[in-house]
Copies of this chain bind each other. A is one copy, B any other.
Amino acid sequence: MTKDVRENRLKARIRDIADFYHKKGRMPSFSEIGDMVGIKSKNAVYKLVNKLEKLKVLERDDKGRLIPVSIASSVKMLGTVEAGFPSPAEEELSDSLSLDTLLVKNPQATFLLKVSGYSMSEAGILPGDMVIVDKGQVPKSGDIVIAEVDGEWTMKYLDKSGDGVTLLPANYKFKPIKPQKELKIAGVVTAVIRKYR
């Protein structure tokens, strides 16, 4: 009864703080939290923050400043499509994460390129897709790489299994590439993104 009311109020407050963070790009201060959720005393906010810290919604700095934890993540990870969506209560339990931290290891060396050809279509990489490319990663055999071969840029599978290096397309209509003069591997494709609408 009143327990539900308390929980709902707590969730609403977490949502308020998360909204603030996503809109303003920083965590609110204690007094700002108080203004948001309708608490007049900073001490009450202090206790609220203690609770949220235990819930791993946020963390405290060594200097006491707030840093987001579950708040910073924009999506919640569920199971497979076949499993469908769980009940709202169970949704809460699923661990949430940020796409940036999931997909980008070192931001300084990571780029987004647009795909235009069909040469990798059998690997599920279609024209209009975007690939995340890490320039700092060491390319291994089997990786999809962005390479400059004899003056032209392509995206292909890197194959070091035979003698020399071969670039393999993922489309039977395209031919493997044996670099004649030079092969410069600029980066490794670490992820593919397709955005609808």
Contacts and interface: CB of A to CB of B under 8 A. Distances in A.
Interface string A22-33: 101111000000
Interface in A177-197: 186-187, 189-197
A154 B154 CA distance: 35
Contacts of A115: 80-81
B153 A83 contact: yes
A67 B196 CA distance: 29
Interface stretch (A35-43, A46-54, A103-111): A103-111
A164 interface: no
Nearest to A72: B25
Interface string A128-157: 010110010000000110101000111100
Interface of A: 15, 18, 22, 24-27, 59, 61, 65-68, 72-85, 91, 94, 97-100, 102-104, 107-108, 110-117, 121, 124-126, 129, 131-132, 135, 143-144, 146, 148, 152-155, 186-187, 189-197
